[in-house]
């Protein structure tokens, strides 16, 4: 099988990219590494700059091999492992969707676009396993929710943020509460007072208020093709409420409990309905805090810790089998449409 991995920079593959490239090559697949931001088109053909790895890839090193610029995209499977740059994202997502009409993706483009955020978690996480939340671009609406909430503390965050950026603990009695709500929704009132809206235009940003769930550990549970294939535990740093490794959370290998597996596989089956075959779930049972779809890790931690990894090969085999099943269904659907 020829597999195209789309990353942001073939000159510097991160640890996930390196691990996947190396294992897929060892499994006998032809691997191409493409720059997701180089996608373009010529008449009816889509093009991308690619590198064909000539050897195994070292984490955070270059992908060495022949570079072909603006090559016509030819692949049996595409795996998007980085999101497009913000300046190009609208065009690149449109081209990815076009490519997905004829080539299977590990995670379908529409599912990636619509589910790799916090706005749509209610579609895939059962209500009893999702902390109560409200999203709005109005700080007044968010403030009213905080005032009538059953708890005194809340999490305030952006629906499309990542790596722990702009994630705050909000206390109803804190004098910062109103300022934080105004800040994350664009400071519309302050900007309007300083400069008329007829000059600044709409300045609103969406924000989410979520009930605060005290916890010191989270599990990152990896699912492939509807099943749990690996899990790790993240211990939050001291005096920290964010479970991101980028915010000094410490990772260790840990098995998921039977209850966690049941919950994760319930979410994974719902993800399959949207064409999502590979994801990382952030779980502090009984809650799912986030579902990560683009380069979520979860299969790289043994490599980071320098220990043998019993999960990677069977997980990737299962993932490719799941994609093959999905491809058969897509081809049948296409034949009906024709």
pLDDT of residue 327: 56
% of residues, the chain, pLDDT over 70: 93
Per-residue model confidence (pLDDT) at position 337? 29
Residue 152 CA to chain centroid, in angstroms? 30
For the chain, give the mean pLDDT. Answer: 90
pLDDT one-digit tens code per residue, 283-300: 999 999 999 999 888 887
State residue 271's pLDDT score: 98
The answer to whether the predicted template modeling score (pTM) of the entire model surpasses 0.75 is yes
Every domain of the chain with CATH number 3.40.50.20 lies at: 2-103
Architecture of domain 2-103: 3-Layer(aba) Sandwich (3.40)
pLDDT score of 334: 36
Question: What pLDDT is attached to residue 43?
Answer: 94
Which tens digit of pLDDT belongs to each residue from 76-131? Answer: 999 999 999 999 999 999 999 999 999 999 999 999 999 999 999 999 999 999 99
pLDDT number for residue 326: 56
Tokens coding 55: 């050897």
Q: Which two tokens stand for residue 318?
A: 């299962």
Position 197 scores a pLDDT of 67
User: Which pLDDT score is estimated for 224?
Assistant: 96
pLDDT for the residue 333? 39
User: Are β-strands 227-235 and 250-253 bridged in parallel, bridged antiparallel, or unpaired?
Assistant: antiparallel
The whole-number pLDDT of residue 192 equals 67
| Number of CB atoms found within 10 A of residue 181's CB | 24
DSSP state of 17: H
Alpha helical stretches, state H, 101-240: 109-115, 139-148, 176-184, 188-194, 197-200
CATH 3.30.1490.20 range(s) for the chain read: 132-211
Comma-separated ranges of CATH 3.30.470.20 domains in the chain: 217-329
Topology of domain 132-211, CATH: Dna Ligase; domain 1 (3.30.1490)
Q: Which residues of the chain have pLDDT under 50?
A: 329-338
The correct CATH number of 217-329 out of 3.40.630.10, 3.30.750.24, 3.30.470.20, 3.40.50.720 is: 3.30.470.20
């Amino acid at each position: 099988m020829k597999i195209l991995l789309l990353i942001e920079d073939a000159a510097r593959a991160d640890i996930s990219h390196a691990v996947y490239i190396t294992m897929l090559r060892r499994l006998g697949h032809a691997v191409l590494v493409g720059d997701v931001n180089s996608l373009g088109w010529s008449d009816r053909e889509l093009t991308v700059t690619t590198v064909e790895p000539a050897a195994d890839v070292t984490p955070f090193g270059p992908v060495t091999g022949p570079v072909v610029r603006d090559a016509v995209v030819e692949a049996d499977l595409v795996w998007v492992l980085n999101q497009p740059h913000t300046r190009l994202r609208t065009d690149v997502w449109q081209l990815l969707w076009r490519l997905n009409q004829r080539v299977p993706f590990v995670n379908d483009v529409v599912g990636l676009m619509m589910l790799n955020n916090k706005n749509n978690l209610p579609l895939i996480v059962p209500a009893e396993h999702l902390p109560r939340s409200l999203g709005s671009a109005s700080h007044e609406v968010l403030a009213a929710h905080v005032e009538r909430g059953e708890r005194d503390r809340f999490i305030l965050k952006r629906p499309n943020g990542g790596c722990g950026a702009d994630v705050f603990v909000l206390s109803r009695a804190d004098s910062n509460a109103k300022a934080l709500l105004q800040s994350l929704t664009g400071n519309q009132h302050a900007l309007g007072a300083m400069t008329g809206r007829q000059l600044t235009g709409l300045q609103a940003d969406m924000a989410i208020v979520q009930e605060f769930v005290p916890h010191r550990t989270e599990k990152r549970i990896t699912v492939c093709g509807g099943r749990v294939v690996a899990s790790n535990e993240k211990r939050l740093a001291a005096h920290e409420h964010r479970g991101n490794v980028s915010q000094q959370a410490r990772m260790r290998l840990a098995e998921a409990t039977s209850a966690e597996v049941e919950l994760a596989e319930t979410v994974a089956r719902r993800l399959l309905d949207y064409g999502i075959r590979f994801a990382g779930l952030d779980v502090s049972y009984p809650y799912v805090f986030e579902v990560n779809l683009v380069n979520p890790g979860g299969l790289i931690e043994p490599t980071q810790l320098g220990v043998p990894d019993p999960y990677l090969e069977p997980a990737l085999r299962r993932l490719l089998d799941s994609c093959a099943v999905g491809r058969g269904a897509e081809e049948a659907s296409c034949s009906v449409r024709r």
